[in-house]
Amino acid sequence: MGKHVLLKISPTRGVIRFGIRRKLSPRFIGLFEILEWVEDMAYRLALSSSLEGTHNIFHVSQLRRYIKDEIHVLDYSELELQPDLSYTEQPMAITDRSVKILKNRAILLVLVSWKRHSPGEVIWER
Protein backbone atom coordinates (compact mmCIF):
# COMPACT_ATOMS: atom_id res chain seq x y z
CA MET A 1 0.00 0.00 0.00
CA GLY A 2 1.22 3.47 -0.87
CA LYS A 3 3.53 2.08 -3.57
CA HIS A 4 3.18 3.03 -7.22
CA VAL A 5 2.46 0.73 -10.16
CA LEU A 6 2.00 0.94 -13.93
CA LEU A 7 -1.21 -0.45 -15.46
CA LYS A 8 -0.95 -2.83 -18.41
CA ILE A 9 -2.98 -2.07 -21.50
CA SER A 10 -3.89 -5.24 -23.37
CA PRO A 11 -3.00 -4.77 -27.04
CA THR A 12 -6.14 -5.52 -29.02
CA ARG A 13 -5.88 -5.78 -32.78
CA GLY A 14 -7.70 -2.98 -34.59
CA VAL A 15 -8.14 -0.84 -31.46
CA ILE A 16 -6.25 2.44 -31.36
CA ARG A 17 -5.48 3.61 -27.85
CA PHE A 18 -3.90 6.97 -27.07
CA GLY A 19 -3.66 7.82 -30.80
CA ILE A 20 -0.72 5.51 -31.53
CA ARG A 21 -0.90 2.29 -33.57
CA ARG A 22 0.72 -1.13 -33.33
CA LYS A 23 4.33 -1.39 -32.16
CA LEU A 24 4.57 2.18 -30.88
CA SER A 25 1.43 2.03 -28.77
CA PRO A 26 2.16 2.13 -25.04
CA ARG A 27 2.12 -1.18 -23.16
CA PHE A 28 1.71 0.41 -19.73
CA ILE A 29 0.11 3.68 -18.64
CA GLY A 30 0.13 5.93 -15.65
CA LEU A 31 1.76 5.88 -12.31
CA PHE A 32 -1.02 4.87 -9.96
CA GLU A 33 -0.92 4.52 -6.20
CA ILE A 34 -2.09 1.30 -4.56
CA LEU A 35 -4.92 2.16 -2.15
CA GLU A 36 -5.63 -1.27 -0.69
CA TRP A 37 -5.17 -5.01 -1.04
CA VAL A 38 -8.57 -6.45 -2.02
CA GLU A 39 -8.09 -10.22 -2.42
CA ASP A 40 -5.21 -12.67 -2.73
CA MET A 41 -4.21 -11.36 -6.16
CA ALA A 42 -6.06 -8.04 -6.58
CA TYR A 43 -5.41 -4.40 -5.68
CA ARG A 44 -7.49 -1.23 -5.66
CA LEU A 45 -5.76 1.69 -7.41
CA ALA A 46 -6.21 5.45 -7.23
CA LEU A 47 -7.02 6.15 -10.89
CA SER A 48 -6.82 9.56 -12.53
CA SER A 49 -9.95 11.47 -13.57
CA SER A 50 -9.41 10.52 -17.24
CA LEU A 51 -10.05 6.86 -16.31
CA GLU A 52 -13.14 7.70 -14.28
CA GLY A 53 -15.40 5.08 -15.93
CA THR A 54 -12.92 2.24 -15.37
CA HIS A 55 -13.27 -0.22 -12.51
CA ASN A 56 -10.42 0.46 -10.06
CA ILE A 57 -9.64 -3.13 -8.93
CA PHE A 58 -7.01 -4.97 -10.98
CA HIS A 59 -5.39 -8.40 -10.93
CA VAL A 60 -1.65 -8.53 -10.22
CA SER A 61 -0.96 -9.71 -13.80
CA GLN A 62 -2.22 -6.34 -15.07
CA LEU A 63 0.20 -4.36 -12.88
CA ARG A 64 3.91 -3.68 -13.10
CA ARG A 65 5.89 -2.45 -10.12
CA TYR A 66 7.41 1.01 -10.59
CA ILE A 67 10.91 1.57 -9.25
CA LYS A 68 11.62 5.26 -8.73
CA ASP A 69 14.40 6.57 -10.95
CA GLU A 70 15.52 10.20 -11.30
CA ILE A 71 16.01 9.73 -15.06
CA HIS A 72 12.23 9.33 -15.43
CA VAL A 73 11.57 12.85 -14.11
CA LEU A 74 11.15 15.24 -17.03
CA ASP A 75 11.55 19.00 -16.72
CA TYR A 76 8.89 20.52 -18.96
CA SER A 77 8.84 23.98 -17.33
CA GLU A 78 10.61 25.60 -20.29
CA LEU A 79 8.23 24.12 -22.87
CA GLU A 80 5.42 26.24 -24.24
CA LEU A 81 2.59 23.73 -24.30
CA GLN A 82 -0.56 24.20 -26.38
CA PRO A 83 -3.94 23.25 -24.86
CA ASP A 84 -3.70 19.79 -26.48
CA LEU A 85 -0.33 19.25 -24.69
CA SER A 86 1.74 19.50 -27.89
CA TYR A 87 4.69 21.78 -28.59
CA THR A 88 6.75 22.83 -31.60
CA GLU A 89 10.26 21.57 -32.17
CA GLN A 90 12.93 24.06 -33.25
CA PRO A 91 16.04 22.98 -35.19
CA MET A 92 19.39 24.43 -34.09
CA ALA A 93 21.81 23.22 -36.78
CA ILE A 94 22.26 20.78 -39.63
CA THR A 95 24.98 18.38 -38.50
CA ASP A 96 25.36 16.08 -41.51
CA ARG A 97 24.00 15.50 -45.02
CA SER A 98 23.94 12.36 -47.12
CA VAL A 99 22.28 11.10 -50.29
CA LYS A 100 20.68 7.67 -50.45
CA ILE A 101 20.12 6.24 -53.91
CA LEU A 102 17.16 3.90 -54.42
CA LYS A 103 16.88 2.49 -57.97
CA ASN A 104 16.36 5.65 -60.00
CA ARG A 105 15.78 8.08 -57.10
CA ALA A 106 18.16 10.13 -55.00
CA ILE A 107 16.88 10.95 -51.49
CA LEU A 108 18.60 13.66 -49.49
CA LEU A 109 18.95 12.82 -45.76
CA VAL A 110 19.81 15.55 -43.27
CA LEU A 111 20.95 15.05 -39.66
CA VAL A 112 19.35 17.81 -37.59
CA SER A 113 20.33 18.94 -34.10
CA TRP A 114 17.16 19.96 -32.25
CA LYS A 115 16.87 22.54 -29.50
CA ARG A 116 15.47 20.45 -26.63
CA HIS A 117 17.16 17.11 -27.37
CA SER A 118 20.39 15.78 -25.92
CA PRO A 119 23.48 15.88 -28.17
CA GLY A 120 23.64 12.08 -28.39
CA GLU A 121 20.16 11.76 -29.93
CA VAL A 122 20.27 11.14 -33.67
CA ILE A 123 17.25 12.29 -35.67
CA TRP A 124 17.39 12.00 -39.46
CA GLU A 125 14.97 14.08 -41.53
CA ARG A 126 14.06 13.79 -45.20
The residue ranking higher by pLDDT, 40 or 76, is 40
pLDDT tens-digit readout, 101-113: 998 999 998 888 7
Compute, in degrees rounded to 10, the torsion defined by CA atoms 21, 27, 32, 37: 130
Distance in angstroms (rounded) separating the CA atoms of residues 46 and 3: 11
The residue ranking higher by pLDDT, 29 or 102, is 102
Once rounded to an integer, what is the mean pLDDT over residues 38-48?
88
**What residue ranges do the domains of the chain occupy?**
4-70, 91-125
| 68: Cβ contacts below 8 Å, ≥ 6 apart | 4
Q: Percent of the chain scored above 90 by pLDDT?
A: 13
- pLDDT of the residue at 107: 92
Beta bridge partners of residue 32, listed in sequence order: 5
